[in-house]
Amino acid sequence: MFLLACAFVLGILDGLWSPPRERVWPVRVLLGQSLARLLWCGALGILAGQLGVWVAEAAFLMGFGRQVFFVPAVGLLLLALGWMGWRWRLGRRPWAASRLVHPFAVVIRVSSLLLAALLLALTTWEIRQAAVAMLCFGFGALPGDVARSLFSNSRWWERLQPLAASGAAGGLTVAALVLTAAGLGYDVFTGRALGDDLDHLGHVISGDDSLIAIGAPVPDVAFKSLDGQTVRLSHYRGRVVVLVAIGTRCPCVEAYRARLNALAQAYAPRQVVFIGFNPNANESLTEIRERQKAKPFVFPVVVDEGRQATDLLGATCMTECFLVDAAGRLQYHGRIDDNTYHPERVTTHLLQEALEAVLSGRPVNVLCRPAIGCAIVRQKPGEAQRNQ
């Protein structure tokens, strides 16, 4: 949300900073301008998000860290500063230059603030969010663009030019600092370390909140054990239960296997039960049994047939966990810790801290931290086509 607000403010400044027009344009042209500008910004957002993914993937494959983001950051920053310098020198008055007569010059206008917004969009590492950020930028710029088109000779705009110019310089600085911080592994929007986000490209991020509110009773979900017995959550009433979504083919599950086993063994004397539930439609019971035999979890592994429990819990990805207290209320939902593939780099043991809080009767400090992992497979291959 903070990123979108920044992009929106940059768009407002961009609209104020736009150069004057040589004539007033009709309303239908303005409508066409507005739509085209939004499409242009959305396309740029998709491009920025895809570029961010490509850069991150290339860095990961070549063994570089997220510091590779410094390269596009420096390039865009230099381009933006050069553009600002050119705008400063253009025309007799600073920050004022004649607009090209063609109305679509509004659509394809390049500005330092647009480049700053692109810098921000690069830090999302998610194409959809980058596109939304650039659309916010476009919506922020539209009122100023429309007003300049309707009142092209107004002197009032000239008084706002220094403010918009200062905003351009400030926006560039902020955007550059955000991307630099991302390269260093720090997310300024959430105030936390980014952990291993680069390693998770292509994985799913669970929702910020589960379908069950923190503190609310968890439904009495039922599973099937590997020997066909029914396992219900109510069987463990009076004990703290950790439900973890697992699968046989997810690398995130393999990365967490040793840590989950260690946690289960450490907390077993304190009456904490770990249950790994497999909800994937493409993994057979035989496959799950063989995997458990070859690389066992030290706690029960069960199957969620038909994804009924998964739907009730609102689970979306592997290693997503749900901490249920002895009274059957949800106390934590999300990640196990903040680094999947590099245990030595873990800085926050989220699930363990939540367990300690629940066992000692203290409130949990972090109620939810979205999990990252392979998406839960809800339909077998070809099943979707057969249902159509």
Domains and CATH numbers, the chain: 2-194 (no CATH), 201-381 (3.40.30.10)
Place of tokens 């007799």: 92
How far apart are alpha carbons 184 and 175 in whole angstroms? 14
Of the chain, the end-to-end C-alpha distance in Å amounts to: 37
Residue burial 115-149, b: 16+ Cβ < 10 Å; e: rest: bbbbbbbbbbbbbebbbbbbbbbbbbbbebbbbbb
Q: Give CA–CA dist 41/47, Å, rounded.
A: 10
What is the pLDDT tens value at each position of the chain, 388 positions in all? Answer: 566 777 777 776 676 666 555 556 666 666 766 777 778 778 888 887 777 767 666 665 555 555 566 666 676 667 666 766 666 565 444 444 444 444 445 555 667 677 777 777 776 656 777 788 787 777 777 676 666 665 555 555 555 555 555 555 566 666 666 666 665 555 555 554 444 444 454 566 776 666 788 899 999 999 999 999 999 999 999 999 999 999 998 888 998 999 999 999 999 999 999 999 999 998 999 999 999 999 999 999 999 988 889 999 989 889 999 999 999 999 999 899 988 877 887 888 999 999 999 999 998 887 777 888 888 888 765 554 444 4
